[in-house]
């Protein structure tokens, strides 16, 4: 019996502590609400001043190969080496579109169309990948009309300017064919961006709770009978608050 009493849970004490915490929340509610309202106002301001979407993107598939030159190869070579050469060409183009020289050429092609976009802004918006003889060019931008112009300029640059950067292509250059027309699609906001307002509000409320408990801990004011008795004094009588039941 004694051991059972030692491990028992004092539910009355736990309930009393929860009631005390709740009284602090009711007493300092404005301190809890203030940081939450500030965080909510900041989140609303950020929502109203930033784009609701994540911008726009498009992708274009390309294939490329060197024009046939020289004597006709044997039967086996005609089936194998042109495809092998195409893979090497596509690999080279995939690496080139990630460089600053491609961004320079892309900016120059856009300038000819009346779009002034610096290469430093274009380079992060361009990426590419390839599988065998097909390259996929990925483009992303904040404006849909400008993105379409960028995609058209990229096709022109790949078709006409690669020979200046790959001397191994020879004077004839390479033949680059776009397999897709650019289709501009909206990019939704990331999950993190959508949850940011809720996260900020939650952090504001947590900060408000911590501030309320800290202020109550440092406040020397005696609010209730229990506070007076905790100091060692005996309470002889109480004057109830106005409106309280007797």
| Domain locations along the chain | 10-50+190-230, 56-186
d(CA 216, CA 28): 8
Tokens of 172: 């004839």
Q: What is the pLDDT of residue 110?
A: 95
Better-predicted residue by pLDDT, 235 or 217: 217
| Cα(229)–Cα(234) distance, integer angstroms | 6
Q: How many helices (H) and strands (E) does the chain have?
A: 9, 5
What digits encode the pLDDT tens for the residues 91-103? 999 999 999 999 9
From the CA atom positions of the chain, what is the Rg in Å?
35
Q: What is the pairing mode between strands 134-141 and 126-131?
A: antiparallel
Q: Render pLDDT for 53-91 as a digit per residue (tens, 0 to 9).
A: 568 999 999 999 877 665 555 545 566 777 888 899 999
pTM of the predicted structure, to 2 decimals:
0.59
Q: What is 178-190 written as a DSSP string? A: E-S----EE-PPP
Inter-residue contact 139 to 150 (CB < 8 Å) = yes
Q: Which residue has the higher pLDDT, 160 or 193?
A: 160
Under the banding of pLDDT at 50, 70 and 90, the label for residue 118 is very high
Q: Which fold has domain 56-186?
A: Alpha-Beta Plaits (3.30.70)
């Amino acid at each position: 019996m004694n051991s059972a009493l030692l491990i028992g849970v004092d539910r009355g004490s736990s309930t009393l502590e929860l009631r005390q915490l709740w009284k602090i929340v009711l007493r300092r509610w404005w301190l809890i609400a203030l940081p939450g309202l500030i965080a909510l106002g900041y989140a609303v301001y950020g929502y109203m001043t930033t784009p609701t979407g994540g911008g726009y993107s498009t992708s274009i598939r390309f294939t490329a190969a060197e024009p046939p030159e020289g004597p006709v190869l044997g039967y086996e070579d005609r089936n194998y080496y042109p495809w092998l050469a195409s893979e090497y060409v596509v690999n080279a183009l995939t690496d080139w579109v990630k460089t600053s020289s491609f961004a320079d050429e892309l900016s120059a092609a856009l300038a000819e169309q009346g779009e002034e976009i610096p290469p430093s802004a274009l380079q992060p918006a361009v990426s590419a990948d390839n599988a065998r003889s097909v390259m996929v060019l990925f483009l992303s931008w904040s404006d849909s009309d400008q993105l379409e112009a960028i995609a058209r300029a990229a096709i022109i640059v790949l078709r006409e300017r690669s020979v200046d950067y790959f001397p191994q292509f020879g004077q004839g250059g390479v033949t680059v064919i776009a397999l897709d027309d650019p289709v501009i699609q909206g990019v939704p906001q990331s999950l993190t961006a959508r949850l940011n307002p809720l996260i900020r509000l939650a952090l504001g409320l947590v900060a408000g709770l911590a501030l309320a408990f800290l202020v109550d801990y440092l406040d020397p004011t005696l609010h209730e009978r229990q506070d007076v008795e905790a100091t060692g004094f005996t309470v002889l009588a109480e004057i109830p608050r106005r409106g309280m039941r007797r």
